[in-house]
Structure 1
Amino acid sequence: MQEGLFEAGEDCRIQTGCIVGLKYRDDCRPAVLGKGARIRAGTIIYADVVIGDDFQTGHHVMIREKTAIGHHVVVGTNTVIDGQVSIGDFVKIESNCYIPTNVTVGSRIFLGPNVTLTNDRYPLKMRDQYRPEGPVLEDGVTLGAGVIVCPGVRIGEGSFVAAGAVVTKDVPPRTMVKGVPGRFSPLPEKLRELNIALSWMKYLKA
């Protein structure tokens, strides 16, 4: 591991080839890792990042500054979290996802591989009016593989977005979204319970 500016809780394991607490300005604060973190080779975590307990990464993850991540979160290989992002507890983000600035991710959320969230309505146009506006994912949301979510979209609690869909407008709670552009339908009863991974169960029942 290359030296960085960070504080780590008990039983953290950081593989070789990582940078934790990358200093990007003179007055930045240390990155903070909670207990039991597992940081795999090639990962870069900037300073001014705060992460809760039981955090895990795949390889070559990048997490930029001013990001706050809760407890029991997994971030898959080659995923980029581009800073100024808030992520709740019990979240699983698969490999090759992109999360830009100004995104809010709630708790008990699943992002499948190759999910792309966006925050710029008119890339490289109207720069004098540029205001990055990332999506908001409310608690219990599932995004299937390859989903794209457009800037400023709010996806309501417990909604399920099928693989490959493009979400262009706000989604009401407990809604199924399919297709390009995404079309809404009532969420099937069998998908209405909040997301739960086997590794989360002992904590959620405590």
Structure 2
Amino acid sequence: MINIHPSAKISNLAIIGFIPENFKDEREFDTTIDENCVIEPFVIVYAGSYIKKNTIVKSGAQIGVTPKIKPELIGAKIGENSHILSNAIIEADVETGEKFTADQNSFVQFGCRFGDFVGIGQSAVILSYAKIGSKVRIHTLTMIGDYVTIGNNCFIGPNCNLTNAPHPKCPQIKICEKDYAVKLKDNIRIGANATILPGVIINNNVIVGSGSVVTKTVEEGIVIIGNPAKIIKETKDLICWDKEKYNIERPY
């Protein structure tokens, strides 16, 4: 059943409640578009999706896409006041909190979970079963691997890679990638072009400098940089580049 609130604005060129030909589940799936939502032309909302109030889905985006490798899945849940930009693809079994933003051409694979106030940059990729907390910004062209977990209040700069596979194509990779997926705790900042290798845990209040390659678990409250990344100071010792102009001495 398709449920569209009277206040929602749905383009005649959008498809709501789409079911792919190869989808074999014969159950009836409710598709819901809440109040004050805007669905632009050429959007596809798959059956079973729930788009909560005040959400805007821009032209060409797809919500709740059934993955080829998980043909039994369909539909996604998008939190209220969210903004899905043009050509973003959000696969099935994804749930977001409120004020979620997916920029142009971003991709979220099946099974991911997001807290509130999460933003995903242009062409960023979030792979399956990643778990992202609240108040997180993931910038342009960044890749978050399968099963990676990210805590609250984190910033991940552009073109970063958070990995999960110590030995790609190993016969046991589908088992071990769950154990070796990167884990970020809370209040972490990662600069552009950084790579976090499999098995790494980054604890609270850490800053990772741009271009770093992090090869081992990082204790909390420090700044690391380099390849391989090494400790250079404690986070609390960072000083603003122009403390007089911005009236702040220590940013963290």
Moved over 3 A (4+): none
Aligned pair partner of 1:53 in 85, 91, 98? 98
Equivalent in the alignment of 1:35:
80
In the TM superposition, residue 21 of structure 1 has moved relative to its aligned partner by 0.4
Quickly say closer, same or farther: Cα 1:191–1:12, change in 2 above 3 A: farther
Aligned pair partner of 1:169 in 216, 227, 252? 216
- Structure 2 gaps of 5+ residues are 1-42, 240-252
Structure 1 residues 29-108: aligned runs within 5 Å? 29-108=74-153
Aligned pair partner of 1:2 in 37, 41, 44? 44
1:120 has 2:195 as partner: no
Structure 1 residues 108-187: aligned runs within 5 Å? 108-124=153-169, 126-128=170-172, 131-132=176-177, 133-187=180-234
In the TM superposition, residue 174 of structure 1 has moved relative to its aligned partner by 0.6
Quickly say closer, same or farther: Cα 1:8–1:129, change in 2 above 3 A: closer
Return the alpha-carbon distance in structure 2 between the equivalents of residues 129 and 8 of structure 1: 34
Instruction: State the aligned residue count.
Output: 191
In the TM superposition, residue 87 of structure 1 has moved relative to its aligned partner by 0.2
CA contact (8 A) 1:84 1:102 kept: yes
Moved more, 166-175 or 5-14: 5-14
Aligned pair partner of 1:18 in 38, 61, 84? 61
In the TM superposition, residue 3 of structure 1 has moved relative to its aligned partner by 3.2
In the TM superposition, residue 29 of structure 1 has moved relative to its aligned partner by 5.0
CA contact (8 A) 2:97 2:114 kept: yes
Q: Deviations over 1:101-127 (max 9, x none)?
A: 010000000000001011111223x42
Return the alpha-carbon distance in structure 2 between the equivalents of residues 41 and 128 of structure 1: 37
In the TM superposition, residue 27 of structure 1 has moved relative to its aligned partner by 3.7
CA contact (8 A) 2:206 2:235 kept: no
Q: Write the letter of the residue equivalent to 2:46.
A: G
Structure ID, larger Rg: 2
User: What is the TM-score normalised by the length of structure 1?
Assistant: 0.88
Say what the alpha-carbon RMSD is for the aligned residues. Answer: 1.6
The secondary structure found in structure 2 opposite 1:189 is helix
Higher relative contact order (CA 8 A, sep 6+): 1
- Structure 1 gaps of 5+ residues are 193-206
The secondary structure found in structure 2 opposite 1:186 is strand
Return the alpha-carbon distance in structure 2 between the equivalents of residues 51 and 119 of structure 1: 22
Equivalent in the alignment of 2:245:
none
Return the alpha-carbon distance in structure 2 between the equivalents of residues 60 and 51 of structure 1: 18
In the TM superposition, residue 23 of structure 1 has moved relative to its aligned partner by 1.6
Return the alpha-carbon distance in structure 1 between the equivalents of residues 204 and 172 of structure 2: 34
